[in-house]
Amino acid sequence: MRVLGVIPCRYNSSRFPGKPLAEILGKSMVQRVYEKSSLCNNLHKVIVATDDERISFHVKSFGGNVMMTSKNHENGTERCGEVLRKSIENFDVIVNIQGDEPFIEPSQISQLISLFDDINVQIATLSKKIEDYTTLTDINKVKVFFDKENNANSFVRNHEIT
């Protein structure tokens, strides 16, 4: 199974403009995500997808793969779709790796990819159980609500099922 990891990054975030280039202990957030993702043996390639020349230049400066994408995407998933359409390589699975997860572990990505060994799985996302009320009510954190079969049925920033 050939797997492409795509890290969608945009500069003009409404909550934190320039977040991908924010420095964490000497490296940018996007560089940390890229380097951690690249350590995942199950990924055949990692690409940063951006609509911003500053991010593109920065990714190239540390030797990363980058693809310029449209400014008109509503979310990172659409940006991943554009990378898939433009790619000259064939991939069986595309993993959307959040650009603001600098502490993601390669093993987490591998765990997610392993779900696709089941031919019935068409889409999967990483999540973790919320352990405290502060996280539950933080609008900067996306919450996932699951049904009885453990299928995600809602992704929200507030803490109420809509």
Where do the domains of the chain lie, and which CATH numbers do they carry?
A: 3-126 (3.90.550.10), 127-162 (no CATH)
Q: How many Cβ atoms sit within 10 Å of the Cβ of residue 160?
A: 8
| Residue range 63-72: mean pLDDT, rounded | 96
| Residue range 96-101: mean pLDDT, rounded | 91
What's the helix, strand, coil split of the chain in %, to 5? 30, 20, 50
pTM comes to 0.86
User: How confident is the model at residue 159, as a pLDDT?
Assistant: 63
Q: Answer yes or no: is pLDDT of 155 > 90.
A: no
Q: Answer yes or no: is pLDDT of 161 > 70.
A: no
User: How confident is the model at residue 160, as a pLDDT?
Assistant: 64
Q: Answer yes or no: is pLDDT of 162 > 60.
A: no
**CA distances for 113 relative to 4, 5, 27, 42, 126, angstroms:** 10, 10, 27, 7, 10
Q: Answer yes or no: is pLDDT of 122 > 80.
A: no
Block residue for tokens 């995942």? 40
User: How confident is the model at residue 141, as a pLDDT?
Assistant: 80
H-type helices in the chain, by residue range? 29-38, 53-61, 76-86, 106-114, 133-137
Block residue for tokens 């595309």? 94
Mean pLDDT of the chain: 90
19-56 per-position pLDDT tens digit: 999 999 999 999 999 999 999 999 999 999 999 999 99
